[in-house]
Structure 1
Amino acid sequence: MDNNKPIGVFDSGIGGTSIWKEIHNLLPNEKTIYLADSKNAPYGEKSKEDIIRLSMKNTDFLLKMDCKLIVVACNTATTNAIRELRAHYDIPFIGIEPAIKPAATNSKTQIIGILATKGTLNSELFHKTTEIYHHTKIIEQIGYGLVELIENGQIESPEMNQLLHSYLEPMIEANIDFLVLGCSHYPYLIPQIRKIIPNHIHIIDSGLAVARQTQNVLTEIGFNTDNNNKPIFYTNTNPKVLENILGSKYIVQEKDF
């Protein structure tokens, strides 16, 4: 395999850039192509069949870009479609799942909260994961409306603040000591979440774990040897929101796919 081929990353929108940033920080020499399917966000409200179809569409696009590995930077797409992706394509896939294990293992109260999309919480893979930790009480909360607000650039809006209060306050009252963020969009809400939850509650997301797993897979298929690689970003909607999240040094291309 050509080591200098790019890593492909896709998400239902801009949220997966939280995963991309961890990968880019850990593996700065790797060329990356990020695909934001914002036109179809959020995936969390879609059927399993639609999620599989969209995930395959995104994969086909990234394979045309000659990617050597694909990161499914979306909890909903991972929990609903990664098995089908691995069966259908002859390329390594790395998924992202809610980080239940470190939360359940380290919880002192044995009560943890998870904020995720409907598609993730209702998935078979998520239920299989949570069954392992039957000694821990897991409070599940669907983050209705959060992805839409993030995609519309309303991270610090009154609507966002109101939703977060309504989702997090019952968890605080239930005495959680870990909050698992089960959607790659949600790390962008950490500053707002921190204003709501007590300091003793730990927030966990999966970004660094995914980056390390990407590094592990690259030890088998080969690291990039060229250090002049600039990341490429595609979106199928207005690129402004993605540009605002990434910062001015990156160019986002609008492309129908």
Structure 2
Amino acid sequence: MTNNNPIGVFDSGIGGTSIWKAIHDLLPNEKTIYLADSKNAPYGQKSKEEIVALSKKNVDFLLEMNCKTIVVACNTATTNAIRELRADYDIPFIGIEPAIKPAANNSKTQVIGILATKGTLNSELFNKTAEMFQNTTIIEQVGYGLVQLIEDGNLNSPEMTQLLESYLKPMIDANIDYLVLGCSHYPYLIPQIKKILPDHIQIIDSGEAVARQTQNILREKVGFSDAKNSIPEFYVNSNPTVLKSILDHKYDVIQKDF
């Protein structure tokens, strides 16, 4: 089945580009449209009702662009809103959830850490998943301030290093051997995180798994594109400078109020 309509991807800001990149690398023929709701970032401190409303606004924008499937490239939006999105829209949604399962199943110390937003760690979906691994100690840490620093372009600032050290040192002391990144912004922090963590601690994010699930949805439900050299589109509702930088200035970024 051939379907040349685009894949829509949205996040509360620029972090979901880590998910977009995994999808683009796996499915290079697919047209993609990325939506960064940076004006309302971070979602992690908002109520469930606010997150659902913002997610629906993003979906409406992407549906106007004739997207054939939509990737919710935001852990907080997935855990708080994807059930409502699937109920209200007749289109396949792919979500992003913290990769607790592979971390817990492979942990030798039976202690894993998760760095995520408050909205993700407080969600029903996260807690149901965590309950499945009661033999594993899960050290939870809210990444207060991290998303905003990334959105502001302060990836390598002293403040970022200080925050990461304060969040990760207790996990190291607790003898974790896996760190789960529970926010799509956080893969951009992996170089700094690796400087803090001992070498034996594995870092897991969800990008490749989401890309594979997107591929499955195309195969089973909506169809693949047979177009060549599709150029991705990027939209942001705040200053586009940081998004352009995170994309290495390879693509145009359109600033648009939505």
Q: TM-score, normalised by structure 2?
A: 0.99
Q: Secondary structure at the residue paired with 2:71?
A: strand
Q: Which residue pairs with 2:96 in the alignment?
A: 96
Tell me by how many angstroms 1:69 deviates: 0.2
Q: CA deviation at 1:228?
A: 2.5
Counterparts in 2 of 1:62-77, with a 5 A limit?
Answer: 62-77=62-77
Which residue is equivalent to 1:222?
223
Unmatched segments (≥5 aa) in structure 1: none
Tell me, in whole angstroms, the C-alpha distance in 2 between the residues paired with 1:22 and 1:7: 13
2-side partners of 1:84 and 1:222: how far apart?
A: 24
Distance 2:130 2:140 in 1: 11
- For residue 145 of structure 2, what is the amino acid of its counterpart? G
Identity value in percent: 77
- The aligned residue for residue 122 of structure 1 is 122
Q: Secondary structure at the match of 1:188?
A: helix
Amino acid at match of 1:230: I
Tell me which residue corresponds to 1:131: 131
Q: CA deviation at 1:247?
A: 1.2
1:256 aligns with 2:257: yes
Alpha-carbon RMSD across the aligned residues, in angstroms, is 0.7
Q: Distance in 2 between matches of 1:28 and 1:228?
A: 8
- Give me the whole-angstrom Cα distance separating, in 2, the residues matched to 1:55 and 1:76: 10
Residue in 2 that maps onto 1:238: 239
Cα-to-partner distance string for 1:72-97 (whole Å, 9 max, x where unaligned): 00000000000000000000000000
Change (3 A) 1:2 1:66: farther
Q: Secondary structure at the residue paired with 2:227?
A: coil
Q: How many residues align?
A: 257
Q: What is the CA–CA distance in structure 2 between the aligned matches of 1:210 and 1:107, rounded to whole Å?
A: 22
Query: What SS does the corresponding residue of 2:35 show, helix, strand or coil?
Result: strand
Contact in 1 for aligned 2:2/2:224 (Cα 8 Å): no
2:192 is aligned to: 192
Question: For residue 141 of structure 1, what is the aligned residue in structure 2?
Answer: 141
CA shift for structure 1 position 2:
6.3
- Give the structure 1 partner of residue 86 of structure 2: 86
State the Cα deviation string for residues 141-186 of structure 1 (Å, max 9, x = none): 0000000000000000000000000000000000000000000000
Q: Secondary structure at the match of 1:155?
A: coil
Moved over 3 A (4+): none
Confirm or deny that 1:207 pairs with 2:207. Answer: yes
Structure 2's unaligned 5+ residue stretches are: none
Q: Which residue in 2 is equivalent to 1:11? A: 11
Rounded Cα–Cα distance in structure 2 between residues aligned with 1:107 and 1:119: 25
TM-score under structure 1 length normalisation:
0.99
Deviations 1:102-142 (A, max 9, x none): 00000000000000000000000000000000000000000
Deviation readout 1:193-227 (Å, 9 max, x if unpaired): 00000000000000000000000010022100001
- Residues 23-47 of structure 1 show CA distances to partners (whole Å, capped at 9, x for unaligned) of 0000000000000000000000000
Secondary structure of 1:97's counterpart equals coil
Q: Secondary structure at the match of 1:200?
A: coil
Deviation at 1:249, TM superposition (A): 1.6
